[in-house]
Amino acid sequence: MKTLPLLTGFAGLLFSGFSAHAADWPQWRGPNFNGSSPETGLPAVFSLEQGVAWSLPMSGPSASTPIVLGNKVFISSVDRENQSLHALCLDRTVGKVLWQVKIGDGLKRDDRSNYSSPSPVTDGKVVVFFYGNGELAAFDLDGKPLWNRNIEKDYGDFAFQWTFSSSPLLFEGRLYLPVLQRDQPVHNRGKEGGESYLLCIDPTSGKTLWRHVRPTEAQAESREAFSTPIPVEVGGKWQVVLAGGDMLSGHEPATGSEIWRWGTWNPTRIGHWRLVPSPVAGAGIVLACAPKKSPVYAVKPGAGTLDDKALAWTSTERGISSDVPTPAFADGDFFVLSDVAKALSRVAPDGSVKWTMETPGKIKYEASPLVADGKVYLVNFNGEVVVVNAADGKMLHQSAFGNADDKQVRSMIVAAHGQLFLRTDTRLFCIGKAAAAQ
């Protein structure tokens, strides 16, 4: 194991220009940017005693999703005992730590999350780690540091009620990081007149390419978003789409200039509607999940400021809503996990509901769903896994992977190379057949 020194300071979308294998999981939203995977042969029945290829203890809890590239698994983590932040690379075949780097000190600002909640991202050449205290660091695949910087030091303290946790997007040679925040101090952080912005960075050098200020009429906490941008192809051209600040917006990838915006799910400008779910695209529409038991809005991208004529549909059933999980798009449909209604639904592009099933038990499901191989994989706060038949919503399997210390599991299950990767607060599990080195 190599320990490096402290650093100082789309439905059917393919990774355009991405050189990794189709079976990788290179960033939080997966290879298609929509919570789905083309993997087949994934296990439907497994438990602690059956089907675990390996597991590894985690030094602290994190909502960060494992990122998989070939035989490497990249993990953001905290060391709870030493109150520090770390970047790790594991051998996917056996779970051995190949390298790890201490990124910085500190753990969290509140009791609901910690600084390592954002997921890392890779393009097959570099891997980038971001943390909620502003630390941003890039490495080559062997752990050699390439560059590091701190976004708070560069552009000012983040103005969020809770710990900032948006994951970056790496697409077509550019790294995108949204900072959608308050325009006034909160908990003595931030400043009057503070700006929300989309930052674009050269992933090879760490230099800022541009910073686009994103205005909004949202008020107070409703300006805050913990969502991740996604690339969406509209009319044969790519856009970067953001959700937050009471609205959706589409941006030109090379410059950040705004192409369109739609809003709002919050016409009365309620001031405590922070946004957590990311947008998801499919079948020519973009879904935005409004918070606090509000509907899901299906928006048709356009140009300029869009009105409600741009809405393909708005959900009316109570179960079609999400305060935290991001929906997935697979097999032509959307899969919406509702943490408020405690239900999972399959929704067609026209808004019709094909099926809805109640999530079992009373424990919350906030981790986003994975859809792969005709199955939907869910995990709740306590590390209990549920496998659902994507065709009819029937539960196929349920198994407990958590222990007494697993109380807020938020990392979604991911699929890569015929295996599932499940992160609880205390362990990382690789589920499926043991892998041969590639």
SS3 assignment for 213-261: ECCCCCCHHHHCECCCCEEEEECCEEEEEEEECCEEEEECCCCCCEEEE
Sign for the pseudo-dihedral over CA of 149, 151, 156, 161: negative
Query: What is the model's pLDDT at position 207?
Result: 98
The neighbouring-strand residues paired with 275 are: 225
Rounded CA gap, 91 and 68, in Å?
10
Question: Whole-number mean pLDDT of the chain?
Answer: 93
Q: How confident is the model at residue 435 (pLDDT cuts 50, 70, 90)?
A: low
Backbone torsions φ then ψ of 222, nearest 5 degrees:
-65, -15
Token reading at 294:
């509000």
Please state, in angstroms and rounded to a whole number, the distance separating the CA atoms of residues 19 and 223. 36
The answer to whether residue 2 scores a pLDDT higher than 50 is no
The residues pairing with 76 across neighbouring beta strands, listed in sequence order, are 87
pLDDT average, residue stretch 130-159: 97
Tokens of 181: 């925040």
Indicate if the pLDDT at residue 20 is higher than 90. no
Q: Return the pLDDT at 114.
A: 86
- Please indicate whether residue 229 or residue 340 has the higher confidence score (pLDDT): 229
List Cα–Cα distances, 44 to 67, 336, 384, 386, in angstroms: 21, 20, 14, 9
Q: Say if CB 374 and CB 391 are below 8 A apart.
A: yes
pLDDT > 90: percent of the chain? 89
Per-residue pLDDT reduced to its tens digit, 370-417: 999 999 999 999 999 999 999 999 999 999 999 999 999 999 999 999
Q: Which of 8-17, 216-225, 349-358, 379-388 has the lowest mean pLDDT?
A: 8-17
pLDDT at 13: 38
- Helix (H/G/I), strand (E/B), else coil: 220: helix
Q: Per-residue pLDDT for 283 more than 60?
A: yes
Q: Check whether 6 has a pLDDT greater than 70.
A: no
How far is it, in rounded angstroms, from Cα 376 to Cα 5? 40
Domain 2-431, CATH: 2.130.10.10
SS3 of 41, please? coil
Q: Tell me how far apart the alpha carbons of residues 202 and 370 are, in angstroms, rounded to a whole number.
A: 30
Please say if the pLDDT value at position 437 is more than 60.
no
Q: Are the beta carbons of 59 and 426 closer than 8 angstroms?
A: no
- The DSSP letter of residue 189 is B
Q: What is the pTM of this model?
A: 0.94
Domain ranges of the chain: 2-431
- Spatial neighbors of 304 by CB under 8 A, at least 6 apart, are 260
Residue 18 has pLDDT above 60, yes or no: no
For the cut 80, the answer to whether the pLDDT of residue 156 exceeds it is yes
Top-confidence residue, 94 or 80: 94
Q: Inform me whether the pLDDT recorded for 1 exceeds 60.
A: no
Collapsing DSSP states into helix, strand and coil, what is residue 105?
Answer: strand
CA distance 65 to 373: 19
Angle at 57 between CA 52 and CA 60, to 5 degrees: 135
Contacts of 56 (CB under 8 A, 6+ apart): 90, 95, 97, 427, 428
Q: What is the pLDDT of residue 11?
A: 36
pLDDT surpasses 90 at 22: no
* Distance, CA of 66 to CA of 24 (rounded, Å): 11
Q: Which residues of 336-345 are buried (b: 16+ CB within 10 A; e: fewer)?
A: bbbbbbbbbb
